[in-house]
Chain A
């Protein structure tokens, strides 16, 4: 079941398009915002709200990288692994974080605090290497900066 708030927010989005189905991505984003990720139940909820089939909604959800079909940690770290960050040494940053948290790309810490995901270019190439935690950008990274940076996210 969609919550009242989720339904309201989705309704607002549908007004921007000629038909409700076009708000599918927005609806997925809204539900993920409230629930952290998109479960099969969430897919079904959105499908009935937008008069779509479940498979159709899942087809959209599974296409986009920022829609999570599996549970993620409370904080998501997105490390840029594109070429400018490679030149400037993102690998050592990844190695350090991976060792510190005991997780590899695609994994979540056992306490649910962090998920680590590789990410394509963040548009921060002149300040490489760069990463994002939730909605925050960090750049010109060096290993010395990482501990205090991670401390902000519990």
Chain B
């Protein structure tokens, strides 16, 4: 089984420095494209590889790049941004790549920047990743001294500057347009779309924002081609995926497996199964804003299409396990509290709606809820939907709530009938 992204990441060892990375074939991709590939050739290759965005939305990377207008049509700087904000509860995959193989990301960024003819690139990273900050800074310096970044890279005439920006907090900054506002030094509030970043992004210029895991793939696709990439997956969507498991399993962790590996395999073969005395009750497959799946759906393949068909989203691919000894209402309440706190406050339905939902869930926890409260929750899941809110934040928050109400209704009712939380 091939694990291109994590092959050289060893636990508790320093990541490859520039020389070591070069020994593994690192930066060959940059040399290859600057010697003889046109930007459009690269975009074409990434398109045929069907690399789907690993940040959660699963948008095709090559297509995203192809939406950037050509230089003859739009003048001025264009930007590439690596989204390393990773603040989705339950998600810890990009951190592994940032700390484990920084040059892989930087090389991917150089190739992506060249493909869209960007001359400036930023890594937008969450503040908490202190270790990654040191590692990335050092790697950027190394890449500059080796001539992979800066003016006239490897004598090709192509210039690229790359900077690291560490965020000052707030989950919403992972939303690409809010991220751009934060990078411009403003409040991190999402922007209206259209225009999309490809035409008007950072400082109003054409911009592509890609996730860390997505960009880390680029050198490998340049080196091995699109057929190789597609064959890595079991479901034809292409590539491997970093899958993570947290919660009451024997061995929580992160593994690189073919895209399309089933939930059962990930939980039983890699995470060691449930801890003794705990039963699997539900699965949040890809971060806080994805719908629950239940134990009977354990044979679902973890790829974009299969998880969608099962009624949720693959999202980040890092799953959280709901066990039978954790109250599902408390689990959902915790998620909603997070979303309520992290609302940017710009649009009313989200700013007012999420705290209201949070208060209602509190009533359940305290044993003061009535049947009317179930109605209030259900109303919100139908009301806080795309189109009624400015961005996807509140609709995302409703995903675990609506699926929780569907699958764990009895548990909600027990809180009402027994007038306290049966788990406490």
Contacts and interface: CB of A to CB of B under 8 A. Distances in A.
Q: Do A and B come from one complex?
A: yes
B170 A126 contact: no
B320 A125 contact: yes
B222 interface: no
Contacts of A67: 168-169
Interface of A: 16-18, 21-26, 28-29, 59-60, 63-67, 81-84, 86-88, 120-128, 132, 135-137
Contact of A127 (B88, B167, B248, B252): B252
A84 to B, nearest CB: 4
12 contacts: A17-B203, A18-B203, A22-B203, A59-B187, A63-B344, A82-B288, A83-B338, A87-B246, A87-B331, A123-B87, A125-B246, A125-B252
B253 interface: yes
Contacts of B167: 64, 66
Contacts of B253: 126
Nearest to B182: A25
Interface stretch (B105-113, B124-132, B351-359, B360-368): B124-132
B166 to A, nearest CB: 8
B95 to A, nearest CB: 5
B330 interface: yes
Given A66-B167, A125-B89, 15 more contacts: A17-B184, A18-B203, A22-B183, A24-B186, A83-B89, A83-B331, A87-B247, A120-B171, A121-B89, A122-B128, A123-B86, A125-B91, A126-B245, A126-B252, A127-B252
Contacts of A121: 87-91, 338
Interface of B: 86-92, 95, 126-131, 163, 165-171, 182-188, 203, 244-248, 252-254, 284, 288, 318, 320-323, 326, 330-331, 334-335, 338, 341-342, 344
B186 A60 contact: yes
Nearest to B318: A125
B169 A64 contact: yes
Contacts of A82: 89-90, 288, 334, 338
Given A26-B185, A63-B170, A66-B168, A83 B90 contact: yes
A63 B335 contact: no
Given A16-B163, A83-B288, A120 B342 contact: yes
B185 A21 contact: yes
B140 to A, nearest CB: 12
A48 B169 CA distance: 24
B187 A60 contact: yes
Contacts, number: 125
A120 B185 contact: no
Contact of A123 (B126, B183, B188): B126
B188 A63 contact: yes
A26 B254 CA distance: 33
A87 B331 CA distance: 8
A126 B88 contact: no
B130 A137 contact: yes
Contacts of B185: 17, 21-26, 60
Contact of A126 (B188, B246, B248): B246
B169 A132 contact: no
B128 A123 contact: yes
Nearest to B342: A120
Looking at A21, A24, A123, A136, the one whose CB has the most chain B CB atoms below 10 A away is: A123
Contact of A120 (B186, B247, B322, B338): B338
B250 to A, nearest CB: 12
A132 B320 CA distance: 21
B320 A64 contact: no
A122 B338 CA distance: 13
B187 A84 contact: no
Contact of A65 (B170, B246, B334): B170
Contacts of A137: 128, 130-131
Nearest to A126: B252
Among B128, B129, B244, the most chain A Cβ lie within 10 Å of the Cβ of B128
A71 B128 CA distance: 20
Given A122-B128, A123-B128, A126-B252, A25 B168 contact: yes
Contact of B92 (A126, A132, A135): A126
A24 B128 CA distance: 20
Contacts of B187: 59-60, 63
A53 to B, nearest CB: 13
Contacts of A17: 184-185, 203
A86 B168 contact: no
